[in-house]
Structure 1
Amino acid sequence: MRHLLNVTALLSVIAVVSGYVEELDDKFKDYLKHELWLVEFYAPWCAYCHTFEPVWHEVGAELKSMGSPVNVGKIDTTVHTSIASEFNIRGYPAIKLFKGELSFDYKGPRTKDAIIEFTNRVSGPVVRPLSSVQLFQHVMSRHDLIFVYIGGESYLKVNIIREYYKAATEYIVHTYFFTASEEVLPKTVTLQDVPAVAVFKDGTYYLYNEFLDGDLSSWINRERFPSYFQMDSFSLYQMGELSKLVALAVVDEKNPSEESIRYKTLMERLSTEYRDNYKSDYQFGFMDGNEYINGLIMGEVEMPSIIVLNMTIDGYCLPENKIETIEDLLRFLNSVLDGSAKLQGGNGFLQHAKRSLYKAKSTVVSMFQEAPFFSCFVFGLPVGIVGLVIWGTCTAVPADDDKPVGGAPASPVLDADGKKAIELQSDSTDKTSEAKKED
């Protein structure tokens, strides 16, 4: 009885949570001008969508409890096919936040906290003011990385203000943007000129130099990651948008070995001590486990190991010699930059075809692992139909088999004793020919 009550209560909770996510149709575009919408684009056959569904309902419930003005919905693109092409949906589940005439793609982890953080950031002001020292310290305690425009408007540098707001609109999906006066900054911050743009990260700050760093938008795009951090598949995917290589320590965090710790320490040390040397060429980090890297290179990467990835062309380089010291690591990174290190992988035609087959195989395996019964139905139904068609074709009796051949009777002729007569069709034919000759 108690078990039944628990199940009933669970179903009630699921029903209530599901009520915070609205099933949409193609008419939802009419609401976008006046309302904020966070929308999941899904397909019923997608195993990832089925796994993600409880998380999406939790997102809707929490945003509702927070009093957020953002509405949460989902739309089946297999029913509303024009929506998928109109909003350029290429994978499932896809998440977009609609804010007025703008739409923002979510490319982070499929977790409740990460999606809510994204929603709160993007749905609010693109650039937020920091009006006091206390507010500045509060923001710094909550976020590992922020961009700040410092100082008032300057007629000499009005283009920087314009470019800052433009870049903030583009990169608000990744991080926060603020404005502040000099008075609210920590006393450790030293400015040579105002207005200025700074990124606060890694426990310190870096100032934008328009003469050395190029245009502001490109600088923000390069600096929007910590100098060294733990990467996952989503952050590596974003690295493809940068012009940087990724220097990665692949380790096992659950069972860290002495070599794993050394690789991580060397990579972190290099990211800080040699930042000025490599800030334009490399992004440094580490990854727990080699599963994603194996899929990327379609091979097996030992753990621990050092690898350099070129996410733009899906290429990679592995050190030929063991990395023992920071000097060894520096030589390896420099060999990649000067082209002496062997570049493997790539995005040529054969590699692309091989990678497509590998991804298709991985997707099918993942589908059967996540939703075995649904996957059996999806793949078994067409196979069963094709099998029935082939079986029916092979076992069917042609209609001509029921008709007499060459004027022969449909049933065998029996003699007086009830035995089957021996048909000598060829002899009969010969006799008929002879008879014709006599005539």
Structure 2
Amino acid sequence: MLKFLLLCSLAAASTRAQIDEEEDVLVLKKSNFDAALQSHPNILVEFYAPWCGHCKALAPEYARAAGMLKSEGSEIRLGKVDATEETELAQEYGVRGYPTIKFFKGGDKESPKEYSAGRQADDIVSWLKKRTGPAVATLNEVTEAESLIADNEVAVIGFFKDASSEGAKAYQKAAEAVDDIPFAMTASDAVYSKFEVSKDGVVLFKKFDEGRNTFDGELTKEKLLAFVKANQLPLVIEFTEQTAPKIFGGDIKSHILMFLPKAASDFQDKMDQFKKAAEGFKGQILFIFIDSDVDDNQRILEFFGLKKEECPAIRLITLEDEMTKYKPESDAITAESITKFCTLFTEGKLKPHLMSQDIPDDWDKSPVKVLVGKNFEDVAFDSSKNVFVEFYAPWCGHCKQLAPIWDKLGEKYKDSADTIVAKMDSTANEIEAVKVHSFPTLKFFPAGDEHKSNYGALMHPAAVVAVYEALPRDPSLWMKAARAALLDVTRHEGIAV
């Protein structure tokens, strides 16, 4: 028996030795992934691409987080997978963008938790400790409470003399539902006194705006979560690479954005007006400031159809289901005008704002027709025509590679009586019927009224010509054939011309 146990120990040690490390981060592959989960029950895994800018920006913070945990003797480890090499692993875990970060707890490889906090080392470590430790820490001393508040951007403390009370139980349940903020509880008279709390309750401490918020209401899980959601972010948060996960990963899906250069002479005045309006919509609408002079923000301006010289500007967007944009009637940036705009939105009285260029005089003169928002439906929804449309972005590398293929397709069918090949710049044009989330997106609108509201998408440009030529000429079979040809562009590298 002793010999058997020794052999098992040696085998386990050998398995661990096969996993290389780079800056304290485990280098994971298909061949060692299961062994890593067995050896390290709690492991955070980043699926990355070597060419990805966001992955490169994350790398030093990710490595620092790994080193922090390792130096503490923590059982939590960080690993990384090159998803462009380990395509089977990436496909198994539904990787569709980079970086994708998942947490495997207790060696469970079937249902990893999506990482949802910030991209700084402290954010990563805090999130992991919250996921693996108790949801609520116990504070017995004033110094413990002071350290908790000092060490975190936001921290929540429940003041309960009786940890078995209904209010304390509701607080515990709320804490278990929040990943990125530390929760603690105290019954200490000294802690009560230090923070001037005279009765049981909940206080959120933060390093911005008011500094602290005291919960006022019935102590239920739902109401406590709403309280935390409404107060955990600044009244106005600046969009940066670091804050993006908090903005997009939060529960508030309605965002109002102010595009304004920090260098503007009236910057502070406009920021004060924006912040004043934000006070009335806490927990409903997230108020976001975007520096329109920052190069990395130019794509965001483009997404909203804005140019630097058109700023300052206000836009509102909802991220529920499909993204919908709204534009105020007035260009004024005052607390009153912004409040009115947001009120109309919350009351459902605003119409979506759809961008469109003017129709070019020569839009139909080339083999590939040029569509804009104003003529899209007239062309694509013509029941007598089969219409292929490429939705592209001028800056997109894949779109540029697709261009000669699309031109060939247009040339082939330029004299067809029932087929149109077209393209639309989706950075400058929007239509309600089609939501474009990536470039290029290729959609097929078959002839016949019954098909126009039920069209398919061809996501891989390399197969466009072959797929189109293989489709049956019987219109009733177009959709079936097109759907059978659906391809996922993320599973392929490059585009064959």
Measured against the shorter chain, the TM-score band is 0.5 to 0.7
Match of 1:28 among 2, 26, 33: 33
**Paired position in structure 2 for 1:18:** 22
Please give the per-residue CA displacement for 1:129-161, whole angstroms capped at 9, x wherever unaligned: 22222222222223232222220446661xx44
Amino acid at match of 1:242: I
Identical-pair percentage: 24
Unaligned runs of 5+ in 1: 1-15, 361-377, 387-439
- Per the alignment, do residues 288 and 29 of structure 1 end up closer, same or farther by CA in structure 2, a change over 3 Å counting? farther
Q: Are 1:145 and 1:226, in contact at CA under 8 Å, matched by a contact in 2?
A: no
Deviations 1:232-274 (A, max 9, x none): 43333124x335x323322223x2331x222211122334xxx
**What is the TM-score of this pair, normalised by structure 1?**
0.63
Q: Is the 8 A contact 2:43 2:79 kept in 1?
A: yes
1:306, 1:318 within 8 Å by CA — same for their partners in 2? yes
Alpha-carbon distance in structure 1 between the residues aligned to 2:65 and 2:219: 44
Distance 1:331 1:50 in 2: 42
Which is richer in helix? 1
Q: Which residue pairs with 1:257 in the alignment?
A: 265
**Which residue of structure 1 aligns with residue 246 of structure 2?**
235
1:293 equivalent to 2:375? Answer no
Q: Distance in 2 between matches of 1:335 and 1:59?
A: 44
Distance change in 2, residues 1:226/1:47 (3 Å): closer
Matched, 1:305 2:388: no
Q: CA deviation at 1:179?
A: 0.9
Question: Match for residue 439 of structure 2?
Answer: 357
3-state SS of paired residue (1:343): coil
Structure 1 counterpart of 2:182: 176
Cα distance, 1:93–1:281 mapped onto 2, change above 3 Å: closer
Q: How does 1:423-438 map to 2 (within 5 A)?
A: none
Structure 1 126/54 Cα, relative in aligned 2: closer, same or farther at 3 Å? same
Give the distance between the partners of 2:51 and 2:264, measured in 1 at CA.
Answer: 39
Aligned with 1:247 (options 250, 256, 260): 256
2:212 corresponds to which residue?
204
The one of 278, 282, 286 equivalent to 2:285 is 282
1:37 aligned to 2:119? no
Q: How far off its partner does 1:89 sit? A: 3.0
Q: 1:317 to 1:112 in 2, by over 3 A?
A: same
Match of 1:73 in 2: 79
Aligned with 1:332: secondary structure? helix
Q: Is the 8 A contact 2:226 2:283 kept in 1?
A: no
2: CA distance between counterparts of 1:211 and 1:64? 38
Aligned mates of 2:170, 2:66 — CA distance in 1 = 34
Counterpart of 1:3 in structure 2 is none
Cα 1:138/1:186, change in 2 over 3 Å: farther
Amino acid at match of 1:352: K
SS across alignment from 2:44: strand
Which amino acid in structure 2 is aligned with residue 265 of structure 1? D
Query: Where in structure 2 are there 5+ consecutive unaligned residues?
Result: 1-19, 356-429, 443-492
TM-score w.r.t. structure 2 length?
0.57
Secondary structure class of the residue paired with 1:306:
strand
Cα shift at 1:211: 7.8
Q: 1:29-80 CA deviation, whole Å, 9 max, x = no partner? A: 4554663312112345756546655554444345434544322222244555
Deviation sequence 1:263-313 (CA, Å, 0-9, x none): 211122334xxx4x4334223342333435325435547322233332224
The aligned length equals: 336
Task: Give the corresponding residue for 2:6.
Answer: none
Deviations, residues 73-114 of structure 1 (Å, cap 9, x unaligned): 222445555543554433222122333258443334544454
Conserved? CA contact 2:324–2:352, under 8 Å: yes
- Equivalent position SS for 1:60: helix
Given that 2:239 and 2:288 are in contact with CA atoms closer than 8 Å, whether structure 1 keeps it comes out as yes
Specify which structure has the bigger relative contact order, considering alpha-carbon pairs within 8 angstroms and separated by 6 or more residues: 1
2:204 is paired with a residue of what secondary structure?
A: strand
User: Aligned AA for 2:95?
Assistant: I
Are 2:275 and 1:268 equivalent residues in the alignment? yes
Greater radius of gyration (CA): 1
User: Residues 163-183 of structure 1: CA distance to partner in whole angstroms, max 9, x if unpaired?
Assistant: 4333323322x2111112262
Amino acid at match of 2:248: Y
* Residue correspondence of structure 1 range 307-346 to structure 2 within 5 A: 307-312=315-320, 313-323=322-332, 325-345=334-354
Q: CA 1:257/1:316 → structure 2, altered by over 3 Å: closer, same or farther?
A: farther
Does residue 147 in structure 1 map to residue 152 in structure 2? no
Question: One-letter code of the match for 1:307?
Answer: R
Partner of 1:135: 144
C-alpha contact (below 8 Å) 1:147/1:197 kept by paired residues:
yes
Q: 1:316 to 1:261 in 2, by over 3 A?
A: farther
